[in-house]
């Protein structure tokens, strides 16, 4: 049977990862061109807290995924699962769980790296103002959405893995020879 404590801990970790990703989306860095006294212009960025929030979300989701995979021995280590519909569902959920996990981690990591990048060059007053590129809206948001998908799929995977692991098929011992003596 699936461990309720493990499912609760994984849910809490995924919930924290989701909240951090949503907070990172709301607190993305924004840059504005600024003219200095020497006649040059450069970009001034507001708070860089979204990078830390994105990395925190990345780490909480990673901890959640590692916890589920250690508990289930990553499906490939340990005893083989007995043939059943639960085993088929566990295998399908294992694959989709890893796909959504990788997409979520890439979104969170790429968003954090891009949010941390700030243009620091100066230009003359007579040229165009500098490009104060910032992170596109929705990168952390899509990471948050995939955090939810990963959380749901990983918990379902663990439940079906536990069912398949506990499944005892009726085994026929073969031809009974005692009646033919």
In the predicted structure, residue 58 carries a pLDDT above the cut 90:
yes
The DSSP 8-state label assigned to residue 81 in this structure reads: P
CA proximity to 94, closest of 60, 69, 115: 69
The secondary structure of 90-150 as a DSSP string is HHHHHHHHHHHHHHHHHHHHHHHHHHH------EETTSPPP----PPTTHHHHHHHHHHHH
- Rounded to whole angstroms, what are the CA distances from 155 to 46, 69, 92, 149, 166? 38, 11, 13, 10, 17
Residue 35 has a pLDDT of: 72
In the predicted structure, residue 118 carries a pLDDT above the cut 90:
no
Q: Give the Cβ contact number of residue 29 at 10 Å.
A: 19
More confident residue, 165 or 125: 165
Spatial separation of the C-alpha atoms in residues 135 and 26, rounded to whole Å? 12
Paired tokens of 74: 């990553």
Residue 123 has a pLDDT of: 53
In the predicted structure, residue 155 carries a pLDDT above the cut 90:
yes
Q: What is the pLDDT of residues 2-53, one digit of tens each?
A: 689 999 999 999 999 999 999 998 988 777 777 777 666 777 777 778 889 9
Contacts for 160 with CB less than 8 Å, ≥ 6 apart: 86, 87, 89, 90, 93
> What would the mean pLDDT of 83-96 be, rounded to a whole number?
89
Q: What is the pTM of this model?
A: 0.80
Contacts for 10 with CB less than 8 Å, ≥ 6 apart: 64, 67, 68, 151, 154, 155, 158
What kind and span of H or E run contains 44?
A: strand 40-45
In the predicted structure, residue 144 carries a pLDDT above the cut 70:
yes
Spatial separation of the C-alpha atoms in residues 74 and 157, rounded to whole Å? 11
In the predicted structure, residue 117 carries a pLDDT above the cut 90:
no
């Amino acid at each position: 049977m699936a461990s309720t404590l493990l499912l609760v801990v994984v849910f809490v970790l995924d919930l924290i990862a989701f909240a951090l990703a949503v907070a990172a989306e709301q607190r993305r860095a924004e840059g504005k061109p600024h003219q200095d006294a020497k006649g040059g212009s450069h970009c001034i960025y507001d708070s860089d807290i979204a990078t830390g929030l994105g990395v925190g979300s990345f780490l909480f989701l990673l901890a959640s995924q590692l916890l589920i995979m250690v508990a289930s021995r990553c499906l490939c280590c340990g005893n083989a699962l007995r043939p059943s519909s639960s085993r088929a569902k566990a295998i399908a959920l294992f694959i989709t769980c890893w796909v959504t996990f990788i997409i979520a981690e890439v979104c969170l990591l790429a968003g954090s790296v891009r949010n941390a990048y700030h243009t620091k060059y100066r230009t003359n007053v007579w040229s165009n103002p500098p490009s104060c590129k910032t992170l596109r809206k929705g990168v952390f948001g899509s990471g948050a959405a995939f955090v939810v998908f990963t959380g749901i799929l990983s918990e379902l995977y663990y439940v079906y893995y536990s069912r398949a692991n506990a499944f005892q098929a009726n085994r026929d011992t073969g031809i009974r020879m005692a009646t033919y003596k």
